[in-house]
């Protein structure tokens, strides 16, 4: 994990506009949001899936950087006063607090197309058609049928009682879509998997995507602000429906374990090359931050 994180930091440093290039303030804000923090779960997943598919790590580094830029943009916009209105992210002031609201909005606006730019500029697939397909996978994952759509449902659900299937639908989009994209794009950098194996990888991605959110909900009421590096207890304060508010803490923890088991089952026929994906399923469920 350490090696991937170091590699990603260097790649993102290189792919982001330098801080002295005009407009300096915007470029500094973009770098502030992306560099020097975060668990890098999505890049770790992309590298692990790439390893399973025999991918060239140089290709995976590009898709992982694109996914991480989308993720960083989503956090910046989510923290804005018009959305979640938060002041702490990754243990430091949120982008709009450190800079200003308009700059934070623009930083997110600029990170999103930069992700597609780097995916278009670097060869990550064996054919142009496959590369365009990968661009489309990322676009769908972060658009209204993916992350942004999930965020829309989230905003509309504040103060409402959602059923468990409704909550799951929201999170499959809001959090799960980008996690799935990280896994799928990492694997697509290689050519070692057939359609049936891809199906199993998708099952894995769906399980850990949901598990990630269940654990996020548990940590929101279970862990401190200092440990999380973001404000804890916000879901309850904002009357957001969560796995904990619907299922209770004990059942939510059990559900995370069930999803971890499902993820392992999906990988059961893969053997040794899926070892890192298995470890990441464990990390996602057992993490404390
Ligand atoms: C603004 C279009 C738009 C979407 C925002 C992802 C998201 C949608 C909002 C983030 C709010 C949130 C707390 C979601 C729950 C799960 C989640 C994505 C947590 C943050 O991801 P981590 O834990 O963050 O991977 P780090 O900082 O480790 O990268």
* DSSP symbol at 105: H
Confidence of residue 5 (pLDDT cuts 50, 70, 90): very high
Confidence of residue 158 (pLDDT cuts 50, 70, 90): confident
Domain containing 140 — which CATH number? 1.10.600.10
Q: Could you give the CA distance from residue 97 to residue 184 in angstroms, rounded to a whole number?
A: 34
State whether the beta carbon of 114 lies less than 6 angstroms from ligand 1. no
Confidence of residue 224 (pLDDT cuts 50, 70, 90): confident
Q: Which residue, chain included where needed, has tokens 């790649």?
A: 11
Please state the domain count of the chain.
Answer: 1
Confidence of residue 231 (pLDDT cuts 50, 70, 90): confident
Per-residue CA distances from 130 to 18, 64, 118, 126, 127 (Å): 30, 17, 16, 7, 5
Q: In terms of Cα–Cα distance, which of 1, 80, 91 is closest to 37? A: 91
Q: Which residues on neighbouring strands pair with residue 89, listed in sequence order? A: 92
State whether the beta carbon of 38 lies less than 6 angstroms from ligand 1. yes
Q: Could you give the CA distance from residue 277 to residue 269 in angstroms, rounded to a whole number?
A: 13
Yes or no: say if 234 and 91 are a contact pair by the CB < 8 Å rule. Answer: no
Å from CA of 260 to ligand 1 middle:
20
Alpha-carbon torsion (121, 125, 128, 134), positive or negative: negative
Å from CA of 76 to ligand 1 middle:
9
Q: Could you give the CA distance from residue 170 to residue 144 in angstroms, rounded to a whole number?
A: 12
Average pLDDT of every residue of the chain = 94
State whether the beta carbon of 148 lies less than 6 angstroms from ligand 1. yes
Structural domain range at position 248:
2-286
Taking 80 as the threshold, does the pLDDT of residue 237 lie above it? no
Å from CA of 194 to ligand 1 middle:
31
Confidence of residue 226 (pLDDT cuts 50, 70, 90): confident
For 169-223, write each residue's pLDDT tens digit: 999 999 999 999 999 999 999 987 999 999 999 999 999 999 999 999 999 887 7
Q: Which residue stretches of the chain are H helix? A: 2-15, 24-34, 41-52, 57-79, 95-98, 101-121, 128-142, 147-156, 164-171, 177-188, 195-222, 225-228, 234-237, 243-247, 249-266, 275-286
**Of the candidate ranges 87-91, 102-106, 145-149, 221-225, the one whose mean pLDDT is the lowest:** 221-225
State whether the beta carbon of 174 lies less than 6 angstroms from ligand 1. yes
pTM for this model (two decimals): 0.95
List CB contacts of 175: < 8 A, sequence separation 6 or more.
147, 150, 209, 212, 213, 216
Pocket test for ligand 1, best of 38, 92, 175, 231 (most atoms within 8 A of CB): 175
Å from CA of 174 to ligand 1 middle:
8
Å from CA of 74 to ligand 1 middle:
7
Per-residue CA distances from 82 to 85, 164, 169, 271 (Å): 6, 26, 23, 46
Å from CA of 208 to ligand 1 middle:
15
State whether the beta carbon of 77 lies less than 6 angstroms from ligand 1. yes
């Amino acid at each position: 994990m350490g090696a991937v994180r170091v590699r990603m930091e260097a790649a993102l440093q290189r792919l982001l506009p330098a801080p002295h290039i005009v407009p300096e303030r915007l470029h500094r804000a973009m770098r502030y949001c992306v560099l020097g923090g975060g668990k890098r779960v999505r890049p770790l997943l992309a590298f692990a899936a790439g390893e399973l598919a025999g991918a060239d790590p140089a290709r995976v580094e590009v898709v992982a950087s694109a996914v991480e830029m989308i993720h960083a943009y989503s956090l910046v916009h989510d923290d804005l006063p018009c959305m979640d209105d938060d002041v702490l992210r990754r243990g430091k002031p949120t982008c709009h607090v450190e800079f200003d609201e308009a700059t934070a909005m623009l930083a997110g606006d600029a990170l999103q197309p930069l992700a597609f730019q780097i995916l278009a500029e670097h060869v990550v697939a064996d054919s142009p058609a496959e590369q365009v397909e990968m661009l489309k996978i990322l676009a769908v994952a972060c658009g209204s049928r993916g992350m942004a759509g999930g965020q829309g449902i989230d905003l509309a659900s504040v103060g409402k009682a959602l059923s468990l299937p409704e909550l799951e639908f929201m999170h499959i989009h809001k959090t799960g879509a980008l996690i799935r994209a990280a896994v799928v794009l990492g694997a697509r950098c290689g050519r070692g998997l057939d359609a049936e194996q891809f199906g199993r990888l998708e099952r894995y991605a769906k399980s850990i995507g949901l598990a990630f959110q269940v654990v996020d909900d548990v940590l929101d009421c279970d862990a401190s602000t200092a440990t999380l590096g973001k404000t804890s207890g916000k879901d309850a304060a904002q009357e957001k429906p969560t796995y904990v508010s619907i299922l209770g803490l004990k059942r939510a923890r059990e559900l995370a374990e069930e999803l971890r088991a499902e993820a392992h089952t999906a990988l059961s026929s893969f053997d040794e090359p899926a070892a890192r994906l298995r470890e990441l399923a464990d990390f996602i469920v057992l993490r404390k931050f």
